[in-house]
Amino acid sequence: MDKYKQANLNLWNEQADIHVKSKFYDVDGFKAGKNSLYPIELEELAPEVSGKTMLHLQCHFGLDTMSWARLGAIPTGMDFSYKAIAHARALNEELGLKCKFIHSDIFELPEKLTGQFDIVYTSYGVLTWLPDMQGWASVVDNFLKPGGTFYIVEIHPFAHMLDDEVEGEELRLRYPYFHSDEPHVFETSGSYVDREAEIKQPVVYEWTHSIGDILNALLGVGLRIEYLHEFDFIAHRHLPFMVERDRLFYLPEGMPKIPLMFSLKAKKPN
């Protein structure tokens, strides 16, 4: 395992233990029946999931996977953090849901899982951890049935350019938009659910992918793009001065509206 993957795995194993206890994920509320999904995917994808098989790539500890099951999907979740998958399996068993969870690196998944799915789904903070969009798109294509749906809702690449350590209410560009093979190196500082959380892994590695990189990777494996939607809000407090409304975070009034998240739906030809 290369040093980039090992460092990121260390981080996500630590974060899995932090997140499962956090107010942000509200596992107690989920056990009581709360759905963890956001309005975007509930509006855009939920109407077609009942009775459909679903592969959830990079599922973390499985709340969204299990939320899809509660909406009638037949989901399989995968994640490279063995601690996250352990938490997912425990919750799934406790709640009596019929999800399957696979521990795997995403690029090794074709060696560990067979079959194809009606829907391949992924969401919220997944692509920046992957070095290769072409390889990622090949995994999506490998597991998608002919006529099947691929759906992603994700942080917009433009949002990754913003300086999230700026003082005061200011939008300032800090990071590049375009991809490079060498990752960006970040010192760890808590978690996105708790900035004060103790993380032992000192640095992590992330990659930038433009909208063009993402679209062209999917088009390159033959998927047909049905839509690309862009949004001026985000699902976590990406900048310290953002304003929370209904679990989503917005820039304060008076600031320009900029793309912070996007959703994309594609079909695999029959």
**What is the pLDDT at residue 193?**
84
**What is the pLDDT at residue 47?**
97
Q: Identify the bridge partners of residue 122 per DSSP, sorted by sequence position.
A: 152
96-101: long-range pairs with CB below 8 Å, 24+: 97/66, 97/69, 97/70, 98/69, 98/74, 99/62, 99/65, 99/66, 99/69, 99/75, 100/75, 100/76, 101/59, 101/62, 101/65, 101/76, 101/77
Residue 183 pLDDT more than 90?
yes
pTM summary value = 0.96
| pLDDT, tens only, 44-80 | 999 999 999 999 999 999 999 999 999 999 999 999 9
Take residue 149 and report the two structure tokens written for it: 């749906």
Strand ranges (E), 99-231: 100-103, 117-123, 144-155, 184-187, 203-206, 224-231
Q: How far apart are the first and last CA of the chain?
A: 37
The confidence band for 194, taking pLDDT boundaries of 50, 70 and 90, is confident
Task: Note whether 10 and 110 are within 8 A (CB).
Answer: no
Residue 1 pLDDT more than 70?
no
What is the 8-class DSSP label of residue 214?
H
Residues found in the chain: 270
Instruction: Indicate the average pLDDT of the chain.
Output: 96
Task: Note whether 46 and 37 are within 8 A (CB).
Answer: yes
3-state helix, strand, coil in the chain (%, to 5): 30, 25, 45
**What is the pLDDT at residue 167?**
86
**What is the pLDDT at residue 189?**
84
Going by C-alpha positions, the residue among 211, 216, 207 that lies closest to residue 228 is 211
Identity of the amino acid at 37? L
| pLDDT, tens only, 206-260 | 999 999 999 999 999 999 999 999 999 999 999 999 999 998 999 999 999 999 9
> Cα 244 from chain centroid?
20
What is the 8-class DSSP label of residue 118?
E
In the CATH scheme, what is the code of domain 3-267? 3.40.50.150
